[in-house]
Amino acid sequence: MNLDDYLITEEPYYSPTHNEIQLFEAAYANRMPMMLKGPTGCGKTRFVEYIAWKLKKPLITVSCHEDMTASDLVGRYLLDAEGTVWHDGPLTLAVRHGAICYLDEIVEARQDTSVVIHSLTDDRRILSLEKKNEVIKANKDFQIVISYNPGYQSVLKDLKESTKQRFGAIDFDYPKAEDEAKIIAHESGIDTKTAAKLVQISERSRNLKGHGLDEGASTRMLIYAAQLMSKGIPLEEACEVALVLPITDDLDIRNALSSAIEACA
């Protein structure tokens, strides 16, 4: 089977924040399992896409959710006219044919899924398909990458220590102000001066983190605001829609944020 469909042909726009590209390439050279940590909307997904393109490897992304089971990852038998056929799951595909497999928010998935990846993330690099009675040796190009939002998990929903310790980790945070402005300008088409204003506004919200906000406005939110502005919506309104209203229901915080945005405008 051919994973060409999973190859990223066009260079995704990615603006590095530190030396994460270099670090990741070194990790990939050793096929080290990697964990990308960081708050929501800070560019983890974009980074993996970029890296896959740079390494010219196919990328298979799985967004994990509460009801996801091991078979959703590994594969299952299905019925067809003649009888039964085995259908490889996304992880098995990546293992067999050599792709980077990105498991987004793996903690969300059920416990049994993380066990599946154990044999893939130590030096055995094998995946056993019990139902099918098959053991696959991972393709030389295969690498597993997971994302992980520290702080969002309750104690019951954390990664097991034995899972955590199988990964190397790169810490992501919102890009530096000028970089973030450049990203926003690029993604939305607004000018960098306005984008810089948006970044300044995001700092206002990030100052409230831990004082009523769990998280400041993400790069993604700022891009939304910028996209609204590129369609002619004025700054304060765009921020209201893309930022103030979604981020909190607390009226005092909304009022404080809106006033701070007014001060920036």
Partner 1 sequence: MAASTTRGKYVISSHSQEPAQEPGDPDERLVFLINEGKHLFPNEYYPLWETACGKLSHAGYGALIPLSYARHSPKLVKILNSETAINFAATVSLAAIKVNRAAAELLPKAAVIAAHELKSTQAFTSWVTTIEELIYNAPESLLAVLERTQKIVSTLTPDQFRTWVLTGLRSTGDDALRQINYFSFTDPESEKWFRHEAGDVVFTDLDRRLKLYLLSLWSLRPPIRDLPASTSPLSLRRISISNGVVRVPEVFPGFHGEQAEKIFRAGLAHVGAHLVYSTKIFPLGELKPIQVALVSLLEDARVEYLAIQTFPGLRKLWQQFHVAKPSGPKLVPLLLSRLARALIDKEYKDKDGWVQKGRDMFFDPQNDMTDPAMCRSIGVLLGNDLGQLRAQFNAKTYVVEPAYRDDNMGLWDFGDQQGQEEDSDGIFIEAMRMDREEVEDDSSSEQEQDQKENDEDEQQYHARESTDSEQRESEVAVRYPEYDYLTGSERPNWTCVLEYFPDFGDAYKIERILEKHNNLVNRITKLIQTAKVSLPERLHRQSVGESLDLDACVNAVISRRMGDTPDPRIYSTTERKHRDLSVMVLLDISNSTNDKVQVSGTSVLELEIQATSLLAYAMSELNDPFAISAFCSDGKEDVHYYRIKDFNSPYDTRARAHLAGLHGKLSTRMGAAMRHATEDLVAQRTHRRLLLVISDGEPSDIDVDDQQYLVEDARKVVRSISRLGIDTFCVGLDAGGDNYLHKIFGRKNVAVIDKLEHLPEKLPLLYLRLTA
Ligand X SMILES: Nc1ncnc2c1ncn2[C@@H]1O[C@H](COP(=O)(O)OP(=O)(O)OP(=O)(O)O)[C@@H](O)[C@H]1O
Residues that bind partner 1 (CB under 8 A): 67, 69, 71, 76-79, 83-84, 131, 154-156, 204-205, 207-208, 210-212, 251-253, 255-257, 259-265
Degrees to nearest 5, angle at CA 238 with 236 and 239? 65
In total, the chain counts a number of residues equal to 265
Minimum separation from the CB atom of position 25 to partner 1 (A): 36
Question: How far lies 158's CA from each of 38, 104, 119, 152, 199, in Å?
Answer: 15, 14, 20, 9, 32
Is residue 100 within 8 A of residue 59, CB to CB? The reply is yes
Contact 159, 108 (CB under 8 A): no
Map the footprint of ligand X across residues 225-264, applying CB under 6 A.
none
Q: What is the contact mask toward ligand X in residues 144 to 173, using x (rule: CB under 6 A)?
A: ---x--------------------------
- From ligand X, partner 1, none, which one binds at residue 164 (CB under 5 to 8 Å depending on kind)? none
| Interacting partner of 40 out of partner 1, ligand X, none (Cβ under 5 to 8 A depending on kind) | ligand X
Tokens 């980790």 sit on residue: 169
Distance of closest approach, residue 204 Cβ to partner 1, in angstroms = 5
Residue 68, both tokens: 């996801």
Q: What is d(CA 46, CA 43) in angstroms, rounded to the nearest whole number?
A: 5
**For the chain, give me the number of helices (H) and strands (E)?**
12, 9
Please report, as residue ranges, which positions from 174 to 203 form the binding site for ligand X (by CB under 6 A). Answer: 175, 183, 187
Select the residue interacting with ligand X from 34, 37, 44, 62 (CB under 6 A).
44
Cβ 81 to ligand X, closest distance in Å?
Answer: 40
Q: Which is nearer to ligand X, 45 or 128 (CB)?
A: 45
46 near ligand X (CB under 6 A):
yes
